[in-house]
Amino acid sequence: MNLIIMGAPGSGKGTQAAIICKTHNIPHISTGDLLRKNIADGTELGKKAKEFMDAGKLVPDDLVIALLKNRISEADCKNGFLLDGFPRTKAQADALAEIVDIDIALNLITDLNKLADRMASRRVCLKCGFTTSAQDAPDGICKACGDKLVIRDDDKREVVENRLKVYEANTAPLVEYYEQKGLLKAVDGMQSIEAVNAAIEAALK
């Protein structure tokens, strides 16, 4: 099953993606995580991407498309995968269509006004990608690997607003793109984690 999960920044895409991938035993491919790993490892790509990411802007299409193509060609993607955070532009969607067929594009519908608060309390582990909230991890330690949790540079309030604007301008039109292809399944993303997951599983049947 080749899946895409779409939704605004802070809509819970990453959380749901991790659950879906565990249930269906497919790799979770987050271009944001791949880029953050490149930054942490100090690669050339990481250096180029960081300035865009810290400003809440999209990393240029050619860099992200090359990164995604590489990842998708790995052996673990043969039986399916879930893309989280890609495609984010029409050019990326077109490039993706040239290399694989997508079965379903899930769209998490959320209230954009409430997402800035969600992102302000988000905490991530840069080592393993685990994501949680300040409320659920008051000790600041990753439950998955024991490393330190941090606030993403781009979750700072001043950047969040820009990311939401970028989402509306570039990424929201992709909902229509996949709707026209008959691949879109919309899910209410403002429910509990469990309820959103149940709705996703119903949509995947």
Q: Which residues bind ligand AMP (CB under 6 A)?
A: 9, 30-32, 35, 52-53, 56-59, 64, 85-86, 88, 92, 154, 163
Task: State in angstroms the smallest separation of the CB of 26 from ligand AMP.
Answer: 18
Assess whether 13 carries a catalytic annotation: yes
Closer to ligand AMP at the Cβ: 15 or 197? 15
Angle at which helices 157-166 and 112-120 cross, to 10°: 140
- Among residues 13, 36, 71, 123, the one annotated as catalytic is 13
- Among residues 36, 71, 123, 163, the one annotated as catalytic is 163
- Among residues 36, 71, 122, 123, the one annotated as catalytic is 122
Assess whether 71 carries a catalytic annotation: no
Task: State in angstroms the smallest separation of the CB of 159 from ligand AMP.
Answer: 8
| Nearest residue to ligand AMP on Cβ basis | 32
- Among residues 36, 71, 123, 152, the one annotated as catalytic is 152
Task: State in angstroms the smallest separation of the CB of 127 from ligand AMP.
Answer: 15
Closer to ligand AMP at the Cβ: 15 or 92? 92
Closer to ligand AMP at the Cβ: 64 or 142? 64
Assess whether 118 carries a catalytic annotation: no
Assess whether 122 carries a catalytic annotation: yes
Please classify residue 81 by burial: count the beta carbons closer than 10 Å to its beta carbon, then call 0-12 exposed, 13-18 middle and 19+ buried: buried
| Residue 143: how many other CB atoms lie within 10 Å | 12
Q: Could you write out the DSSP letters of every residue in 160-179?
A: HHHHHHHIIIIITHHHHHHH
CA 56 – CA 34 distance, rounded (Å): 16
Rg (CA), the chain: 16
- What is the bridge-based pairing of β-strands 122-125 and 131-133? antiparallel
Task: State in angstroms the smallest separation of the CB of 9 from ligand AMP.
Answer: 5
| Residue 170: how many other CB atoms lie within 10 Å | 17
> In b/e form, how buried is each residue of 7-21, taking b as 16+ CB within 10 angstroms?
bbbbbbbbbbbbbbb
Closer to ligand AMP at the Cβ: 26 or 88? 88
* Catalytic residue IDs: 13, 88, 122, 152, 163
